[in-house]
Amino acid sequence: MDVGAGDPGLQLDIRYATDDNFLSRAVYDAARCLLVPDAADRLAAAERTLRAEGYALVVWDCYRPRSVQYAMWEILPDPDYVADPERGSRHNRGAAVDVGLRVLDGRALVLPTAHDDFTPKAHRDATDLPPEAIENRERLERAMTAAGWIPLSTEWWHFDAPGWERYPLRDDPLSAAAGGN
């Protein structure tokens, strides 16, 4: 499902369609958030929960072509942060998201790190952070886990849909990928 098309209020900041990522170049041909239907429903549920509290998601990544996974692995062959492309990523299946948090009224939020920070400060159990960053990380995690998402221990922004392994690996460009991913 094309989540951005289904919810125009959802803020997409698809980093891999820009130079603002650890590869320092755009590796997506379109800024789209494609997810399997179950994951799309879970993302919408988390967004509803957060909106009721005055917050909202910022979506940085969803489905990722497998060819991009190979490019990432060439730069950072560390399975704590980048899935081995031979096995594939949950993102390559349309069953994972990278998300941040924002305030509905426009105020900036302190978050633990930037997206794609590959240091211990990005880990979910990091404590050497401003209290506000920990509070916001926990707020995001509560909303996502209440919607059934499974958090990744090494990246506070990464969440997997349950049953991700039942979806096939994909390598379609985002511009050509079907909305029913």
Active site residues: 155
List, edge to edge, every strand of the sheet that includes 96-103.
Answer: 11-12, 55-61, 96-103, 155-160, 150-152
Show the CA angle centred on residue 21, arms to residues 18 and 27, nearest 5°.
Answer: 50
What does residue 104 show for φ and ψ, rounded to 5 degrees? -65, -30
Residue pointed to by tokens 């094309």: 2
CA distance 177 to 181: 7
Class of residue 179 by CB neighbours under 10 A (exposed 0-12, middle 13-18, buried 19+):
exposed
167: Cα separation from own chain's centroid: 17
Q: What is the three-class DSSP state of 146? A: helix
